[in-house]
Structure 1
Amino acid sequence: MNSEQARQAILGVIRAIPAGQVMGYGEVALHAGLPGRARMTAQVLGRNDDPDLPWHRVLRADGRIAMPEGSAGWHAQCQRLRSEGVVVENGRVRRVRADPMQALDAAVWGPTLPGGGRRPG
């Protein structure tokens, strides 16, 4: 995968994060087919110029906002998350679901069977 393909894959995953849910940088990279490339996810977001991209749904692995506390970006991310019903306390989101893409996968592909298989649709 070249760098533009990687960028598009990362952006596609970010666009697919459901409202009211969050993912870590590493999770985004993993779902984009780029395991271990959390920093690449951060770089792609840092260069983003699409105002419709739900960048605010991407957090550090521990649920913290990656921007400096108190900065305009930090406040904007808190506000956007809260507007979607996400509880943000001191710049941190307590993650209820480890992987919001599981819900998306289940909606698209059907429930997971024991052993990891899928029910035929």
Structure 2
Amino acid sequence: MSKLDEDLIYEILSVVEEIPEGCVVSYGQIAKLIGRDKNSRLVGKVLSRAEFYGEYPCHRVVNHAGRIAPGWWEQRLLLEDEGVQFKENGCVDMKKYQWKC
């Protein structure tokens, strides 16, 4: 990762930390919450390395359509353990489970 501002990293992770169990948010939603509307990819980059900063419920972050991270099959299991259900297409129902923050 190119050198990212530590304050920005913790700003993103502090939002993730607040996501209630059984809810999801999108990368874009987090970007908007921190005042960086166009930086959803930056949010994804930070979350892909979140384990270096502590334990955060990154499994609660999906894309805008409710799709989970490719190659991270455990994400679905973690969400299902919290009561989040998936539609037939494999996506989270954002209307039902998106955190209204």
- Partner residue in 2 for 1:19: 21
What corresponds to 1:54 in structure 2? 57
Is 5-14 or 48-57 further displaced after alignment?
48-57
Q: Deviations over 1:23-79 (max 9, x none)?
A: 0001011112221110111000111115631010000111111214xxxx2x20000
Identity of aligned residues (%): 33
- Normalised by the length of structure 2, the TM-score is 0.83
Please tell me whether Structure 1 or Structure 2 has the larger radius of gyration of its CA atoms.
1
Q: Give the whole-Å Cα distance in 1 for the aligned partners of 2:50 and 2:76.
A: 18
Question: Taking structure 1 as reference, are residues 54 and 98 closer, same or farther at Cα in structure 2, changes over 3 Å only?
Answer: closer
Work out the CA distance in 1 between the residues paired with 2:63 and 2:83. Answer: 19
The CA RMSD measured in Å over matched residues stands at 2.0
- Which letter does structure 1 place at the counterpart of 2:90? G
Partner Cα distance (1:61, 1:87) in 2: 16
Are the structure 2 counterparts of residues 97 and 11 from structure 1 closer, same or farther at C-alpha, using a change threshold of 3 Å? same
Q: Where does structure 1 differ by over 6 angstroms across 4 or more consecutive aligned residues?
A: none
Distance 1:20 1:51 in 2: 21
Q: Which residue of 8, 11, 18 maps to 1:9?
A: 11
C-alpha displacement of 1:96: 2.1
In structure 1, the residue matched to 2:85 is 87
User: Which structure exhibits the higher relative contact order, with contacts defined as CA atoms closer than 8 Å and separated by 6 or more residues?
Assistant: 2
Q: Which runs of 5+ in 1 are unaligned?
A: 103-121
**Quick one: structure 1 residues 78 and 96, their matched pair in 2 at CA, closer, same or farther if it must change by over 3 Å?**
same
Segments of structure 2 that go 5 or more residues without pairing to the other structure are none
CA contact (8 A) 1:24 1:60 kept: yes
Give the count of matched residue pairs.
96
Write the distance in 2 (CA, Å) between the matches of 1:98 and 1:25: 15
What is the CA–CA distance in structure 2 between the aligned matches of 1:42 and 1:51, rounded to whole Å?
16
Structure-1-length-normalised TM-score: 0.70
In the other structure, the counterpart of 2:37 is: 35
